[in-house]
C-alpha cells in the first residue's frame, strides 16, 4: 500500500479482511431474508394486486440496486489508503439515501390510493410510517361502534390530543422501526456536516471525526452500513407482514 507505515498497512489489511468476512456473512443472511420477502410479496399479490407493481419497484430497488452494491459477491482491495477512503465514504454517503428512497416507495405503495394519501414527494419516513399505521388501524377498526379504542371506557376523555389510531398501532409490535431513525440521523449528519455553524462548534472540541476501526475521517464504516442493509431487510419484512395481518383481520384472507 502506498504512503502507509507498516502499522497502518497492517491495520488496513486487517480491516479489509474483516470487511470481506462480514460481507460474506451478511450476504448469506440476505439470501434467507430475500426468500421471506418474496414469499410475502406473493401473498400480497393475491390479496392486494392493485399495489403489487409499486411494492415490486421498492423490492427491485433493494434487491437489484442496494444489496449488490453494498454486499457484492466479491470485494476488490484498494491500491492505497486514499482509494480505500474515497470508496468507503462514497458508499457511506450514497447507501443511506438509497435506503430512504426505497422505504419511501414501499410506504407509498400502500398509501397512494388510501384514505391517508395526502403525500408529498420527499416525505419523512416517520410521517409515512405514521400514515401506514393509521391506514392499518382504520382498516382493522372501520366501525366506530365496535372500535375498542374509541370505547368511552378506554378513551382518555380529558386528553384533547387523544388519537385512537396511535393507540391501535401498538398492536402491530414493530421491532425494527429503529432503522428509520438511524437513516434519519445519518441523513441529518450528511446534510449538516458542512454547515459553518455546526462545523465551527464541533471544532471547539479540537479533534477530528475518525471512525475507530477503519481510521477514515467519517463516523460510519462498512460494518455499520452492511448491518444497516440487513436491518432494513427485516423492516421491509415487517411492513409487508403488518399489511397481510390486517387483511387477515378484516377477512380478506
Number of domains forming the structure of the chain: 1
pLDDT band at 159, cuts 50/70/90? low
In a domain, 41, yes or no: yes
Contact between 88 and 214 under an 8 Å Cβ cutoff? The reply is yes
> Percentage of residues in the chain with pLDDT exceeding 90?
43
Query: Which H helix or E strand runs over 38?
Result: helix 6-47
Q: How is residue 76 annotated by DSSP? A: P
Q: Which has more pLDDT, 133 or 153? A: 133
State yes or no: pLDDT of 229 exceeds 90: yes
pTM here is 0.88
pLDDT band at 1, cuts 50/70/90? very low
In a domain, 1, yes or no: no
In a domain, 33, yes or no: yes
In a domain, 241, yes or no: yes
In terms of residue numbers, what domain contains 122? 6-249
Q: Which pLDDT does position 71 carry in this prediction?
A: 92
Q: Which pLDDT does position 101 carry in this prediction?
A: 92
pLDDT band at 203, cuts 50/70/90? confident
Contacting residues for 144 by C-beta, under 8 A, at least 6 apart: 150
In a domain, 127, yes or no: yes
Q: What is the mean pLDDT of residues 87-110?
A: 92
- pLDDT, tens digit (0-9, with 9 covering 90-100), for 134-153: 999 999 998 888 888 886 66
The whole-angstrom separation of Cα 180 and Cα 162 is: 25
Amino acid at each position: 500500500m502506498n504512503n502507509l507505515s507498516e502499522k497502518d498497512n497492517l491495520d488496513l489489511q486487517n480491516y479489509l479482511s474483516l470487511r470481506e468476512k462480514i460481507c460474506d456473512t451478511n450476504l448469506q443472511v440476505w439470501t434467507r431474508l430475500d426468500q421471506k420477502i418474496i414469499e410475502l410479496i406473493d401473498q400480497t399479490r393475491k390479496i392486494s394486486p392493485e399495489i403489487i407493481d409499486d411494492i415490486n419497484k421498492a423490492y427491485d430497488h433493494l434487491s437489484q440496486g442496494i444489496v449488490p452494491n453494498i454486499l457484492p459477491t466479491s470485494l476488490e482491495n484498494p491500491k492505497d489508503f486514499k482509494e480505500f477512503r474515497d470508496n468507503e465514504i462514497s458508499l457511506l454517503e450514497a447507501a443511506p439515501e438509497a435506503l430512504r428512497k426505497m422505504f419511501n416507495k414501499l410506504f407509498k405503495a400502500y398509501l397512494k390510493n388510501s384514505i391517508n394519501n395526502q403525500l408529498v414527494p420527499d416525505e419523512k419516513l416517520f410521517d409515512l410510517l405514521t400514515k401506514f399505521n393509521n391506514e392499518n388501524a382504520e382498516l382493522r377498526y372501520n366501525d366506530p361502534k365496535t372500535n375498542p379504542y374509541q370505547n368511552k371506557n378506554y378513551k382518555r376523555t380529558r386528553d384533547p390530543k387523544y388519537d385512537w389510531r396511535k393507540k391501535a398501532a401498538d398492536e402491530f409490535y414493530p421491532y425494527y422501526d429503529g432503522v428509520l431513525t438511524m437513516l434519519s440521523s445519518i441523513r441529518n449528519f450528511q446534510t449538516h456536516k458542512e454547515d459553518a455553524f455546526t462545523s465551527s462548534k464541533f471544532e471547539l472540541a479540537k479533534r477530528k471525526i475518525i471512525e475507530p476501526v477503519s481510521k477514515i475521517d467519517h463516523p460510519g464504516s462498512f460494518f455499520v452500513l452492511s448491518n444497516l442493509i440487513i436491518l432494513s431487510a427485516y423492516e421491509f419484512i415487517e411492513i409487508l407482514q403488518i399489511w397481510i395481518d390486517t387483511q387477515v383481520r378484516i377477512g380478506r384472507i
